[in-house]
Amino acid sequence: MVSAQVAARPFRALGGFFAMSLDTFALMFQRPFAWREYVIQTWFVARVSVLPALMLTMPYSVLLVFTFNILLNEFGASDFSGTGAAIGTVNQIGPIVTVLVVSGAGATAMCADLGARTIRDELDALRVMGINPIQALVVPRVLAATTVALALSASVIIVGLAGAFLFCVHIQNVSAGAFISGLTLLTGAGDVLVSLVKATLFGLAAGLISCYKGVYVGGGPAGVGHAVNETVVFTFMVLFAINVIVTAVGIQFTVS
Amino acid sequence: MTPISTSVPSRPFGRLLNVVDDFAAGWNRIGGQVRFYAETLAAVPDAVVHYRTELLRLIAQMGLGSGALVVVGGTVAIVGFLTMTTGALVAVQGYNQLASVGFEALTGFASAFFNVRLIVPGTTSVALSATIGAAATAQLGAMRINEEIDALEVMGIRSVTFLASTRVLAGVIVVIPLYCVAVMMAFVAARFGTTVVYGQGSGVYDHYFGTFLSPTDLIWSFFQCVAMTVVIMLVHTYYGFTASGGPAGVGEAVGRAVRTSMVVAAVEIVMISLAVYGQSGNFNLAG
């Protein structure tokens, strides 16, 4: 019997996650909406995410154009380095870096915060007072992660392209005009739209997973650390999986 | 909130001095961090000689993962899964993007080139910091706030050697098979996506893949991953070692460590790439 319970545990966790997600979506449209908490959380996630996001996107976009330019130099086509930079930064690096940071910085802090409240029975206290913790705490956090992911991905793309531009033009001696005119050769409004959709979905998933792990934490103080660790692992896995699927679907519409 | 200690008089030039104090505190933190890293690295031989049992236990634990992560297959499965999705990305993005300019035959080349130089080191760094790195911070942080680290010191066990050096070394040993799994999964996923899902002839794919796969690149990519692991484990053990502020503090330390180590690892990958491949790119299209 014990082994059956152990075997059923992942399914129970999955079921619990979907139940909480459904609750969150249902309560998202019910009043009263926790505006104050939403604004505070959005500001918090933005504050901890912006600097690491920009510091992470620069090296990755520089690495991308460096690798891509090796290839283009071989063809004698380094004028097209802007095209490669645009494809890589807009489609992949922008949304992925955004979400790595939102989940690494924002979601971990949310999970730690909610987990600490759970093991101190503060969530039960809320329930006793007739306040639904999902509505008061989870909904604003999930929406905050989504908002910040969407808002941040645009700035990450801009900074990534600017970094690629500086690296190509000043270090690899690509003509600035050729770089700029190559940007939009293969990348259009459709790609930008897909990229923003990706970032939004990523933020939503990261918010939901971190809140689930925080609300259903167990095992005392040591459990919070493990819950945060699991949050990071599971968000990264889900995000990479979502990325492949959305890329495969989106590319049918954007590449003609 | 009302100030609690109203009896303490305010300092002259309080704001200015606060700024100076903050700067000094940040400066000291950097110094402490560097000192911790130097101590940890210097104590690695000591760890091999004196704490071999702990080292072996950590290697086993890191390979398999701990807690709920065992259920999804441990560290190996997580790293394999992450690189599999990014390898599949080569097929999805690479094949379609190349097809739009009429070059889809070169997808095998894209897999051999971008997977080795860009995607596998990048993905592995993220995966390592999320799995073995974050786990180390969570464990050490829990030990710190339960005062277990002080207890170790009282018992005469060198805590930095016993906890940090062993973890750094164990991470480096574990990453060797992990890197092989990561590269294999990336290659297999890219090939599967291109030949089975998008229906390219497997001969075309294998020809370009085999022609452009450079063993030297693979070895450098492997060394990149080992170097990254050292840095990631150092950062994560430091944040775990200095965690404070109860259960929530441990969680925040995990978040800060993941954030820092991802940025540091990304910078490191770029530096090593620039140093190894150089301006010429160490690449020859003629094969």
Total domains in the fold of chain A = 1
For residue A20, tell me if it sits in a domain. no
A8 to chain B, any CB pair closer than 8 A? The answer is no
Q: Give B36's contacts (C-beta < 8 A, 6+ positions apart).
A: B160, B164, B238, B241
Q: Is residue A72 part of a domain?
A: yes
Specify the pLDDT at position B71: 59
Tell me the residue range of the domain where B47 lies.
Answer: 32-276
B65 vs A226: CA distance, rounded Å: 11
pLDDT tens for chain A, residues 1 to 256? 567 776 677 788 888 888 888 888 888 887 778 888 889 989 988 888 888 888 888 888 888 888 888 878 777 777 788 888 888 888 888 888 888 888 888 888 888 888 888 888 888 898 999 888 888 888 889 999 999 988 888 889 999 989 888 888 888 888 888 888 888 887 778 888 888 888 898 889 999 999 998 888 877 767 787 888 888 888 888 888 888 888 888 887 776 5
Alpha helices in chain A, H assignment, sequence order:
2-28, 35-75, 81-88, 94-101, 108-119, 122-128, 133, 139-166, 176-183, 189-215, 220-254
Residue B250 lies in a domain: yes
Q: Is residue B18 part of a domain?
A: no
Instruction: Tell me the shortest Cα–Cα distance from B271 to chain A, in angstroms.
Output: 9
Hey, are the CB atoms on A115 and B263 less than 8 Å from each other? no
Tell me how many domains chain B contains.
1
Give residue A172's identity as a one-letter amino acid code: Q
- Say what the pLDDT of residue B7 is: 66
Contact B47, B151 (CB under 8 A): no
Q: Does residue A90 sit within a domain?
A: yes
Instruction: Pick B251's closest partner by Cβ from A91, A224, A240.
Output: A224
Chain B residues lying within 8 Å of A109, measured CB to CB? 251-252, 255
pTM over 0.90: no
* Locus of tokens 């160490």: B282
CA-nearest residue to B189 within chain A is A244
A63 → chain B, closest CA residue: B270
Range of the domain at A101: 33-250
- The pLDDT assigned to A235 comes to 87
In a domain, A2, yes or no: no
C-alpha dist (Å) from residue B58 to B54, B181, B206: 6, 20, 39
- Is there a domain that residue B185 lies in? yes
Residue with token string 């040993």? B173
Q: Are B116 and B217 in contact (CB under 8 A)?
A: yes
Contact A67 B139 (CB under 8 A): no
Considering only CB atoms, B248 lies closest to which of A104, A224, A251, namely: A224
Name the residue facing B138 among A56, A228, A256 (closest C-beta): A228
Note down pLDDT in tens along chain B; length 287 residues.
455 555 667 778 888 888 898 899 989 989 999 999 999 999 989 888 888 898 888 888 887 766 556 656 678 888 888 888 888 888 888 888 888 777 778 888 888 888 888 888 888 888 888 888 888 888 888 888 888 899 999 998 888 899 999 999 999 998 888 899 899 999 999 888 888 888 888 888 888 888 888 888 889 889 989 999 999 999 999 999 898 887 778 888 888 888 889 889 989 988 888 888 876 666 666 54
Does the beta carbon of B9 lie under 8 angstroms from any beta carbon of chain A? Answer: no
Question: Is A3 inside a domain boundary?
Answer: no
Q: How much is the ipTM here?
A: 0.82
pLDDT for residue B72: 62
Q: Classify residue B67: in a domain, yes or no.
A: yes
A256 near B CB under 8 A: yes
pLDDT reported for residue B287: 47
Which residue of B259, B276, B280 is the best one to mutate when testing the A interface, meaning the one whose CB has the most A CBs within 10 A? B259
- Which of B71, B208, B250 to mutate: most A Cβ within 10 Å? B250
**Which pLDDT score is estimated for B210?**
86
Q: d(Cα A94, Cα A60) in Å, to the nearest integer?
A: 10
Question: Is the minimum CB–CB distance between B134 and chain A shorter than 8 Å?
Answer: yes
Using left for φ > 0, alpha for ψ between -120 and 50, and beta otherwise, residue B44 falls in alpha
The per-residue pLDDT for B1 is: 47
The answer to whether residue A255 sits within a structural domain is no
Supply the DSSP symbol for B67. Answer: G
Put simply, whether A77 touches B (Cβ < 8 Å) is: no
Which residue does chain B place closest to A227, by CA atoms?
B251
B8, part of any domain: no
Q: Looking at the complex, does the CB of residue A182 fall below 8 Å from at least one CB of chain B?
A: no
Give the closest of A105, A247, A255 to B100, CB-based.
A255
> Which of A6, A70, A229 is the best mutation test for B, with the most CBs of B within 10 A?
A229
Contact B270 A243 (CB under 8 A): no
H or E stretch including B130? none
Asked if residue A14 is part of any domain, the answer here is no
Q: Distance between CA B277 and CA B275 in Å, rounded? A: 6
Phi, psi angle pair for B10, to nearest 5° = -75, 150
Query: Considering the domain boundaries, does residue B20 fall inside one?
Result: no
In a domain, A135, yes or no: yes
